[in-house]
Amino acid sequence: MAGVQAPAGDVRVPAGETTGDFRFALTALTVLFFMWGFLTCLNDILIPHLKAVFDLNYTQAMLIQFCFFGAYFTVSLPAGALVKRIGFQRGIVGGLMVASLGCLLFYPAAGNQSYPLFLGALFVLASGITLLQVSANPYVTALGDPNTASSRLTMTQAFNSLGTTVAPLFGGVLILSAAASGLDAMSPKAEAEAVQLPYLILAGVLAFLAVVFSRLDLPEIDGPKDDAVDTESTSIWSHRHLILGAVGIFVYVGAEVSIGSFLVNFFGLESVAGLEEAKAAHYIMYYWGGAMVGRFIGAVVMRSVSPGKVLGFNASASILLVLVAIVASGPVAMAAILLVGLFNSIMFPTIFSLALQGLGKQAGQASGILCLAIVGGALVPLLQGVVADTAGLQLSFLVPVVCYAFIIFYGLKGSQVSAD
């Protein structure tokens, strides 16, 4: 999932500074986008691993995404208030430190073979990522010429997708392959401890980045001035396209995360491919890599085709592909579900931008509502887990189908701004 583009506020860049002067800072920010994409997608490896270690059903395994994306809903508003108090740069440093702590907590969770401790560690990790997103996005627009801000945002979004593409390879080698080697000789405790080294490495990387950002000389970013405060009497909740857009963000994030969460187990079905977990993990990169490629294709297409129509087309294609994955078997089912990533690519930013149409000074408040809707990544996978436990894994993909059906409606009809 792409990083949320928070409103930048007023930006004060030191006189005479150019994009080149902030090249190192831009590189560091790009690394942040890569890291939180990487950490988010690593959950797709954790789910099948911890499911096997703790002998969980699908519903229990989906608590991983529930705790992770639940942090967006719980922490977004407090994080915004904290950043307002301590500043964006300190917010970045704080977010990196909290995320590093979350990674460190995986060590005692594995040592004690405690699934609740794993869930707690994931919540702490996601809280740090939420604080990072609230803090870091405005800097991308601040570092350099305002006329090229969009290209910088596109670049960072691409690296976010690169993180989601690389993570399955990292997790497949260091977590699933380590657990699979000599599986018969490994105790459940040893299998749980397979996550310790990877997350210790990630904790060290995040702590190093915190030190780097604490020393960077970044531009000062102010919040909106008093005269920019919206004085209109119209309630933010009266904008139908915004409310429907929040539902769109909820179901989109839910569908994307839900599909990614079940891929390893889906590929393990005898009717599909019968792959071992470590081998199945390598295919997840095609799902998230498709999203990276599709983002660039969509950016070109939407120069000549309305975003709503592109959104409707992509959601329709996603429904068709998921239905093929449900009824087919073998390579056809595998290819169909992986191709969904390509059509997912433009959905988040397109829904987000359509929901903010015509809101003017209320856009900041509206963005907060849309950010809260990311909690769909916590609830929809949990619902699919319940369906998988009762009706079977392959049929459970009907849950994302319902989500994409709403997105078709939003792109073609619900995103239209009603005349007041």
Q: What is the pLDDT of residues 130-139, one digit of tens each?
A: 888 877 766 6
Spell out the residues 6+ positions from residue 89 whose beta carbon is closer than 8 angstroms to its own.
135, 213, 216, 218
| pLDDT over threshold 60, residue 182 | no
For residue 203, the model assigns a pLDDT of: 95
| pLDDT over threshold 60, residue 307 | yes
| pLDDT over threshold 70, residue 416 | yes
What SS3 state is found at 393?
Answer: coil
Pick from 207, 184, 245: which is nearest to 374 by CA? 245
CATH class for the domain made up of 1-7+16-222: mainly alpha
| pLDDT over threshold 90, residue 24 | no
Residue 226's Cβ-count burial label (10 Å; 0-12, 13-18, 19+) is exposed
Q: Which parts of 268-329 fold into alpha helices (H)?
A: 277-301, 307-327
* Residue 220: strand pairing partners: 12
For residue 364, the model assigns a pLDDT of: 63
What's the token pair of residue 309? 């129509």
- In the 8-state DSSP scheme, what is residue 356? T
> What is the arithmetic mean of pLDDT over 52-66?
93
Lowest mean pLDDT among 112-116, 142-146, 386-390: 142-146
Confidence at 368, pLDDT banded by 50, 70, 90:
confident
Q: What is the pLDDT of residues 316-326, one digit of tens each?
A: 999 999 999 99
What's the token pair of residue 318? 């996603």
What SS3 state is found at 266?
Answer: helix
Q: How far apart are the C-alpha atoms of 106 and 69, rounded to whole Å?
A: 17
Q: How far apart are the C-alpha atoms of 184 and 154, rounded to whole Å?
A: 46
> What is the average pLDDT score of the chain?
83
Q: What is the pLDDT of residues 152-172, one digit of tens each?
A: 555 666 788 888 888 888 887
Q: What is the pLDDT of residues 209-220, one digit of tens each?
A: 999 889 887 766
Q: Backbone dihedral region of 55: left (phi > 0), alpha (psi from -120 to 50 degrees) or beta?
A: left
For residue 345, the model assigns a pLDDT of: 87
Query: Domain coordinates of the chain in residue numbers?
Result: 1-7+16-222, 238-415
Q: How far apart are the C-alpha atoms of 255 and 253, rounded to whole Å?
A: 6
Q: How far apart are the C-alpha atoms of 218 and 25, rounded to whole Å?
A: 7
Terminal Cα-to-Cα distance of the chain (whole angstroms): 33
| 238-415 and 1-7+16-222 share a CATH fold | yes
Pick from 64, 57, 115: which is nearest to 386 by CA? 57
Where does 238-415 sit in CATH, by number? Answer: 1.20.1250.20
pTM value is 0.81
Greater model confidence, 66 or 302: 66
Confidence at 59, pLDDT banded by 50, 70, 90:
very high
* Residue 10: strand pairing partners: 222
